[in-house]
Structure 1
């Protein structure tokens, strides 16, 4: 087979060029991350039962849902958390590699089956099922440098004007506000006044629910209508209440001569946050954090840059006293790690070239592994794309290790050609043909032995196995490509570039 490529060096070169082009194209589309995706995907089920204790939540909300979760495809385990503030959260963890979107659908279907068994209040508030990415990309904080804006204002401004824009960026899996303070009308009841008037909290809650709603008031003049009716009017009614004054005017009880009892008579109303369970600070100042999670398979560096660009664009519309800061960004470490590994890659390549020249004493001979090694390394990116891997610290370290391995195949061929030319005074073409007849089986054996060492590691299970898999497969791909190049391009280059030398080497 090698004789075919020795007589057709252009064909051998085309094969290597195709490998390089495929590697370059793959490298441009491969996702870039610090580590491979090894964390199992999770789905969060959350529900609210105001006023319920943790024990009540466990029995009435968590238990019915947990019964239905058993048997969901790909589910490893789930755990529940019930708090005394009426919040319950169930985290379902799935096997690594599970399609998180399909897992979310499966969990949601099981929750729908359990909903009829849940308390009415829980169903009214709704049971939320959402996927959660474990790969946080960055945290952007909305701040007020001059302290003119409260955390309540910042939270709701971020919710209304920033959050959705960030979620729409390509590559963003999810974005959520940490320590959210959603606007809520807080009704502080006066128990002593209520006791005097014989009013219960249920009376107040029912009055607010009945009078704070969006009603469809209907139409006037709609068919069937009397003869001569020409116009149709849509009746508009005041919708949901907005200000504390409007809520204060809600009628709790009307007893004719006894007058009208309104909410403001038995309660103090103010616009505040729905809950104050958590808060976020930066350098001692209250801020609102927006956690941004990376979408599976996305390029972390490109997504982070897109987020910063979008934040700068949104900043132009910020009101006075509002700014943003990015205190946490994982891509800084990713960028630094990749730069260091690429630098190590270049240093290792130069070291290989120096060693080859030192022992072969010929620039022509040194040029051959200099061409062969990059072909194998660049082509490895195409293999990473085929296997669905990413460019990360592990795969780049594997390529650093592979430099010393892939150069061996080219050197085995090159040194044998040099030996035949020196000892038997053969011409480069004849020496290349004879050398390949002698070492072709050895090159194939080297490739098979190295693959036998690394490939079994790729079948290890668990999270550690996922780490080893990326490393082992990267080395195996580079070794296979190195063997292909050694059997095709290297002998062709030897026949073209080497010259018969009868003088002694200078060193």
Structure 2
């Protein structure tokens, strides 16, 4: 069946090149992450009720939304939180494997059905629905050397000038500026003065809504078709107030005698930030702290690179003294990890070549697995792309492990051909055909058995199953491609590269003499091992006791080993959490 690849070497080489080219294309299209995404999809629902405490938020906002969201397709559970800052947050957690985009649409539809049950203030503020992106890519801090620049200015500068540019970068799933420092007109009411004038907070809010509005005043002199008009005037209205003085002069109450009560008579008005809930510093200076999260299926290294390029371009337009700093990005650790894996892959290739050369004694035989192994690994990239496997620490570890497995098939073929050439004095082509006739069935069986060990693991559920799936599919695909390469490319290379006289090469030079001495020592060790095996096989009781002893020892060692989900690795970051008593202010904290 496989003689066609031996007699037509161009066919097997072309097939291998096609696998290699498709594998390279797949490699460049694989998403790169530190670890596979194991967290279930989450959709966040944020509602703001200005001035409300947590009890009011629970009664008027959270309960209606929970009733509407309960039972949304694919939902696992709902988390809700309400604080005294007027913000209610609901996190809808879905089952692992559901489509996050579909989940967000379903939540949007459920929230829309409950809008009429929410307070008017909440509807006016709007209910924000967003899909949570779990993979944090980087932290960016915007700061200034000017001591007069505060966090509010930095926040708004980033929000207006930088955030839109970064959100357009392909692969940025979410951008969050910590804290809500949008410019707002702060109105601090004096209760004693309001009581003296007989006013309530509703009177103040009604006055603000009635007088601080956007309207379309229309036109004067527009032709109505009844009589000709000489001129037409378009009326303009200045719109919402923008200065403190305009807000201070808003009339809250008036009497028939001409007396008026203005906002400045009962409140302090000044321009400030909408909320003072988070304070961020960078090296002791006020800063705007920004987190960027990776969109699902994107390449982490590529996204970080484009974000840095965008920030470097925007740096030219920043005010004097304003700078930015990328305080953390996952690519530093990821690049270091990938670099180590690449070094390991190279070392594995070199070691495989050395081992084959030492045991077979021919440099030609050592070249064959070095040429065949990359085809198997590149083929595994095709399977990774098909099954939505990312390049991460788990899949890269599987690739390193796969080298030791995929090389076995190539070595089996080379050794079989080498034996036929040495013992039967056949030509490389004849030796290859005879060897493949004997071992092709064994190679197919070995590949299928090895793959069947890993494939069932891919069907495990839960977060652990996601990790096992990455590992098992990578291993199984590399094993299957290795078997295919061992039946097609490796025999072709044996027929083309090996020579009939190759058994005499080891006798030439210093290397040949060293290999002869090694083979003599190895043969001696093999004979000792054979005698030991014969004695062990004859004594069945001793064999069983030894087997049970090793099983018990393995179990005892396993019980003493520490267990965990993901191994802790030093990424050069220290996180500290300091909690102050309930009710403490941001200044105290």
SS of the aligned residue for 1:407 comes to helix
Is 1:47 paired with 2:47?
yes
Q: Residues 158, 504 of structure 1: CA spacing in aligned structure 2 closer, same or farther, 3 A cutoff? A: closer
How far apart, in 2, do the equivalents of 1:128 and 1:364 lie?
Answer: 66
Alignment of 1:7-156 (within 5 A): 7-156=7-156
2:187 is matched with 187
How far apart, in 1, do the equivalents of 2:462 and 2:43 lie?
Answer: 20
How far apart, in 2, do the equivalents of 1:225 and 1:317 lie?
Answer: 53
**RMSD between aligned residues:** 1.4
Displacement of 1:102: 1.7
Question: Gaps spanning 5+ residues in structure 1: where?
Answer: none
How far apart, in 2, do the equivalents of 1:143 and 1:261 lie?
Answer: 42
2:197 is matched with 197
2:354 is matched with 354
How far apart, in 2, do the equivalents of 1:59 and 1:191 lie?
Answer: 26
Deviation per residue, 1:195-226 (Å, 9 max, x gap): 22222222111111111110111111224254
1:429 is matched with 429
Deviation per residue, 1:294-341 (Å, 9 max, x gap): 111111111101101111111111112321111111111111111111
Deviation per residue, 1:235-270 (Å, 9 max, x gap): 111200011101011111222434222111221110
SS of the aligned residue for 1:110 comes to helix
How far apart, in 2, do the equivalents of 1:120 and 1:391 lie?
Answer: 48
2:504 is matched with 503
Equivalent residues of 2:44, 2:91 under 8 A apart? yes
Range that drifts further, 116-125 or 237-246 = 116-125
1:444 is matched with 444
SS of the aligned residue for 2:257 comes to helix
Question: Gaps spanning 5+ residues in structure 2: where?
Answer: 507-511, 516-589
Displacement of 1:387: 1.2
How far apart, in 1, do the equivalents of 2:321 and 2:389 lie?
Answer: 44
SS of the aligned residue for 1:426 comes to coil
How far apart, in 1, do the equivalents of 2:504 and 2:103 lie?
Answer: 71
Equivalent residues of 1:137, 1:304 under 8 A apart? yes
Alignment of 1:137-176 (within 5 A): 137-176=137-176
1:484 is matched with 484
2:233 is matched with 233
SS of the aligned residue for 1:298 comes to coil
Displacement of 1:95: 2.4
Equivalent residues of 1:32, 1:391 under 8 A apart? yes
2:224 is matched with 224
Alignment of 1:188-337 (within 5 A): 188-224=188-224, 226-337=226-337
How far apart, in 1, do the equivalents of 2:147 and 2:384 lie?
Answer: 50
Equivalent residues of 2:361, 2:505 under 8 A apart? no
How far apart, in 1, do the equivalents of 2:140 and 2:320 lie?
Answer: 18
How far apart, in 1, do the equivalents of 2:505 and 2:425 lie?
Answer: 14
How far apart, in 2, do the equivalents of 1:438 and 1:460 lie?
Answer: 37
How far apart, in 1, do the equivalents of 2:490 and 2:166 lie?
Answer: 51
Deviation per residue, 1:101-138 (Å, 9 max, x gap): 22111101000111111222222222111112011111
How far apart, in 1, do the equivalents of 2:129 and 2:47 lie?
Answer: 9
Equivalent residues of 1:41, 1:98 under 8 A apart? yes
SS of the aligned residue for 2:382 comes to helix
SS of the aligned residue for 1:339 comes to helix
Equivalent residues of 1:148, 1:321 under 8 A apart? no
Equivalent residues of 1:104, 1:130 under 8 A apart? yes
Displacement of 1:348: 1.0
How far apart, in 2, do the equivalents of 1:260 and 1:321 lie?
Answer: 47
Q: Write out the 4+ residue segments of structure 1 that deviate beyond 3 Å after TM superposition.
A: 502-505
Equivalent residues of 2:362, 2:505 under 8 A apart? no
SS of the aligned residue for 1:236 comes to coil
1:383 is matched with 383
How far apart, in 1, do the equivalents of 2:348 and 2:105 lie?
Answer: 48
SS of the aligned residue for 2:214 comes to coil
Equivalent residues of 2:252, 2:263 under 8 A apart? yes
Range that drifts further, 456-465 or 185-194 = 185-194
How far apart, in 2, do the equivalents of 1:425 and 1:286 lie?
Answer: 82
Higher relative contact order (CA 8 A, sep 6+): 1
Equivalent residues of 1:78, 1:92 under 8 A apart? yes
1:413 is matched with 413
How far apart, in 2, do the equivalents of 1:205 and 1:457 lie?
Answer: 62
SS of the aligned residue for 2:327 comes to strand
Equivalent residues of 2:432, 2:495 under 8 A apart? yes
How far apart, in 1, do the equivalents of 2:141 and 2:473 lie?
Answer: 40
Deviation per residue, 1:318-369 (Å, 9 max, x gap): 1123211111111111111111111111111111111011101101111111
Range that drifts further, 29-38 or 309-318 = 29-38
How far apart, in 2, do the equivalents of 1:40 and 1:191 lie?
Answer: 48
Deviation per residue, 1:441-483 (Å, 9 max, x gap): 0000110111111111111110010011011100111111111
Equivalent residues of 1:149, 1:321 under 8 A apart? no
Normalising to structure 2: TM-score of the pair? 0.84
1:473 is matched with 473
Equivalent residues of 2:22, 2:382 under 8 A apart? yes
Equivalent residues of 1:149, 1:322 under 8 A apart? no
